[in-house]
Amino acid sequence: MATVPPPALAPLSIGPVYVGFPVVQAALSGYSDCPMRVIARRLGASYTLCEVMLDQFLLSLKGRQRTSHFLYLTDEEHPVAGQLMGAEPEQFAAASTKLVEAGFDVIDINFGCPVKKVLGRCRGGFHLGQPDVALEVIQRTRDATPAHIPVTVKMRRGIDDSAEARDNFFTILEGAFARGVAAVTVHGRTVKQRYIGPSNWNFLREVKQFLGDRIVLGSGDLFSAADCLEMMRQTGVDGVTVARGAIGNPWIFSQARALAAGLPLPDPPSLFEQREIIAEHYSLAEELYGVDRCAVGMRKFGIKYSALHPDFEQVRPDWGKMHGREDLQAVFAKWYSEDRPGQHPDPAIHRGQGECGA
């Protein structure tokens, strides 16, 4: 998609937290752990969000080695947000305290997840259908969070396309800022849509016009650097959160920075450049999860990274068979030993495949 940089791409701040370049990495359940966030930061993301965590899970967390990665942060990640999801307002408050103690700079409330099992437990996007409960969640979370830590909310544009859903959305939106929320992220699909059909960017423009100077981040259908700038240009939102488009393609952030500076779109990373970052990602995961545990978790990342390889269809299955560092080296030897040009990933690979928080 051809794009024209916004006339004034202002740096982003969320309350007292300075972010800078307004293209950031979204929270992604099962993906946006510390290694993914660090790689994104090193390649140009100014701000990242941790994968969504259940309030009940956080309150029961005992610091065991197998679960310690959920609250693991590094110095180079800041600013970084922790994202909360749950059903009961009082548990949000206690869980927010746990995230603050862990060192997160921003607390984000998830009212957007459209996954069926989440909705069935009255979590995520379910709250968009009950404004009173949603606003109580926000109030309790804001009250329990220190004043210097911003609280933000992630929303979809409603449960569905009904007039009632629209009214509920704007009731929660206005009430959120009245209760001290510093910013909202709005995804342009409804909860009912999940990840099917296009994201409604016109609705994002309407939300930004409605809120004026208050901070709005946009989400939905951001699969390239050009998409990120085009959303800001079309809608006027203050920033964008890249979700599925960042999995296996952290270069999207440096590419967006180049376009925003008026430079041509950089070439996709070559196979040697890809190999270097994948190896770096694997080492970070190995350090966090241990030698025996990291490989299985890295399979899904390898599969996503393979979309940048010119022989994607042939490379992808080998990533799915990885059991350890020897298999990593075997994939490198077979598919990344010659420094060939890479390719920009096909957005069709991601469309229809959702990760909660996206």
pLDDT in tens, 31-49: 999 999 999 999 999 999 9
Cβ-based neighbour number of residue 166 at 10 Å:
16
Choose the catalytic residue: 34, 113, 228, 356: 113
Nearest to 302 by CA among 313, 314, 315, 293: 315
Q: pLDDT band for 356, please (50, 70, 90 cuts).
A: low
pLDDT > 70? residue 312? yes
Spell out the domain ranges in the chain.
12-260, 271-335
Kindly provide the b/e burial profile for residues 202-237, where b requires at least 16 CB atoms within 10 angstroms of the residue's own CB. Answer: ebbbebbeebeebbbbbbbbbbbbbbbbbbbeebeb
Place of tokens 């999860």: 289
User: What are the DSSP E strand ranges found in the chain?
Assistant: 12-14, 17-20, 23-25, 48-49, 53-54, 80-85, 106-111, 151-156, 183-187, 215-219, 239-242
Q: Under CATH, what is the fold of the domain 12-260? A: TIM Barrel (3.20.20)
Active site residue 113: yes
Residues 92-99 have a mean pLDDT of 91
Q: What is the pTM of this model?
A: 0.92
Cα pseudo-dihedral 258, 300, 320, 347, rounded to 10 = -50
Closest CA to 302 of 339, 277, 326: 277
Q: Say whether pLDDT at 295 is over 60.
A: yes
Q: With bands split at pLDDT 50, 70 and 90, how would you rate the model's confidence at 194? A: confident
Rounded Cα gap, residues 111 and 109, in angstroms: 6
Half-sphere exposure in the Cβ direction for 7 (13 Å, CA): 3
Whether the predicted pLDDT of 304 surpasses 90: yes
